[in-house]
Amino acid sequence: MTEFHELSALEASAKIKSGDLTAEALMRSCFERIDERDKLVGAWSYLDKDKAISEAIKSDKAGNPGRLGGLPVAVKDIMDTDDMPTTYGSTIYGNHQPSEDADCVKNVRTNGGIIIGKTVTTEFAWRNPGKTRNPNNAKHTPGGSSSGSAAGVADMQVPLAFGTQTAGSVIRPAAYCGVVGYKPTFGTHDRKGVKELSNYLDTVGTFARDVADVSLFDYALRGQSCPNLADYDNQPPVIGLMIPFSIEASKDALLAYENVYKKAEKAGASLVDIPSSMKFESLADLQTVIMTGDAGASLSWEYEHHPERLTRFYRDSIAIGKAISESALKNAKQLADDARKREASIFEKVDILLTLPASGEAPEGIDFTGDPLFNRVWTLLGWPCINVPAGVGSRRLPLGVQVVGSAGQDASALAAAAWLEKVLGNS
């Protein structure tokens, strides 16, 4: 029998609305799973079980209104919450209690979702990892910076969770943990109350166990109707095959990728090879410059007032960022703006791109969350990206493929990802 915590968000929502499940029972089931697995996985930075269950009981009494009515939602610990500490993954903010929710958290509550707790993030959503381990194999990283969110969803401790991405912090951990991660078009969600790393790049994203669930979550936050995920059922998508930095990809990742596009073609998709180039791949370097320059400004207070609390990486990187002149940073962003316009032509002949979300399976150890190389360019361009799980590699750890859509065409990208998910599930 399926335990309540194993239900997808949509399945749980349907049962809650039909009266076959209460928000309280779902919340209790999630906490039972957390109690069972938390010592091994370590996805959470803060939990208040009594408060979350109390909120679920209140939701039940009110009839669980809202599109997320009664559903537990995890919040990445760089997002402010007015009833839970927000540490940004740093000892500098160990007892920090914001006075109000981040806008994206407010949207969850407005839509009837219940905040179950705060998930572990790397420090300031950048490098320094927390305690979280990959639920598929605790000897391996879950990825970062949205470590706890990806691991918690993958381990069925919570159906929905927030992430953020500045380089690869949603897509890579989703790939490593084997869940759906969704980074929408840049600027989709208001970032007020989210700890800033790069104003030019930071994007609020989501995690769930299937494409329909991230669509439910994301579009509820937008206040818009869910896109039609069956758009490609009658006429499969035209898929552009493009792997920047393919030389850095593992054999397992490339084999999984080949398996996916062959199944897609067999199911009716048209494939178009789109070669990468050194010019395109150099955009990853531009992303690094912008991220570092912006971080030099956004983390200047921490650098100036608490340098002893920062690791050497942060002290050195912030110093490098502060040394980038305002004019040089402005020029880098102009080059990125130009690239966003220029590279949009890729989508003149294809509906979506299919690429890799990471170099391969999650690396061993939890001191390094993996290389975001396979995400940097797409984040710089601001395009919507979705990780779709695609089996396991030779070490029995998850692999994925990354669906990339054009700016603002999130509904089409999600529909293509849902079509691909169905093809992989049916094959």
Query: Cα(188)–Cα(370) distance, rounded to whole angstroms?
Result: 26
**234 lies in some domain:** no
Q: Supply 306's token pair.
A: 């608490």
Residue 263 domain flag: no
Quick: pLDDT tens for 250-280: 999 999 999 999 999 999 999 999 999 999 9
**Residue 67 is assigned to a structural domain of this protein:** yes
Look at residues 237, 236, 214, 209 and name the one whose alpha carbon lies nearest to residue 226. Answer: 214
Please indicate, yes or no, if residue 104 is contained in any of the structural domains: yes
Two structure tokens written together for 285 = 């370097």
Domain that holds residue 94: 4-222
To the nearest whole number, what is the mean pLDDT of the chain? 97
Confirm whether 330 is a catalytic residue. no
The encoded tokens of residue 178 equal 């084997």
Q: Within a domain: residue 160?
A: yes
Q: Report whether 116 contacts 73 (CB < 8 A).
A: yes
Q: Is 169 a catalytic residue?
A: yes
Strands 270-273 and 352-355: unpaired
* Digit-coded pLDDT (tens) for 65-107: 999 999 999 999 999 999 999 999 999 999 899 999 999 999 9
What CATH number does residue 216 fall under?
3.90.1300.10
Angle of helix 211-222 versus helix 410-426 axis, rounded to 10 = 160
Please tell me the predicted confidence (pLDDT) of residue 426: 64
Q: Is residue 208 part of a domain?
A: yes
Residues 359-385 have pLDDT tens digits of: 999 999 999 999 999 999 999 999 999
- Note if 333 is an active site residue: no
Residue 119, domain member (yes or no):
yes
Model pLDDT, residue 2: 78
Question: Is the pLDDT score of 1 beyond 70?
Answer: no
Q: Total domain count for the chain?
A: 1
DSSP H or E stretch at residue 273: strand 270-273
Q: pLDDT digit string (tens) for 230-250? A: 999 999 999 999 999 999 999
**pLDDT for 34-50, tens place per residue?**
999 999 999 999 999 99
As a whole number of angstroms, the distance between CA 16 and CA 9 comes to: 10
Cβ proximity of 196 and 172 under 8 Å: no
Out of 145, 147, 215, 298, which one is annotated catalytic?
145
Determine the Cα–Cα distance for residues 222 and 182; give it in Å rounded to an integer.
14
| Global pTM value | 0.97
Using an 8 Å Cβ cutoff, are 254 and 246 in contact?
Answer: yes
Beta bridge partners of 40: none
Asked if residue 113 is part of any domain, the answer here is yes
Q: Of 13, 149, 169, 317, which residue is the catalytic one? A: 169
Distance of alpha carbon 291 from the chain centroid:
18
Q: Evaluate whether 216 touches 13 at the Cβ level (below 8 Å).
A: yes
Candidate list 76, 106, 183, 333, residue with the active-site label: 76
Q: What is the DSSP letter of 137?
A: -
Amino acid at position 168, single letter? G
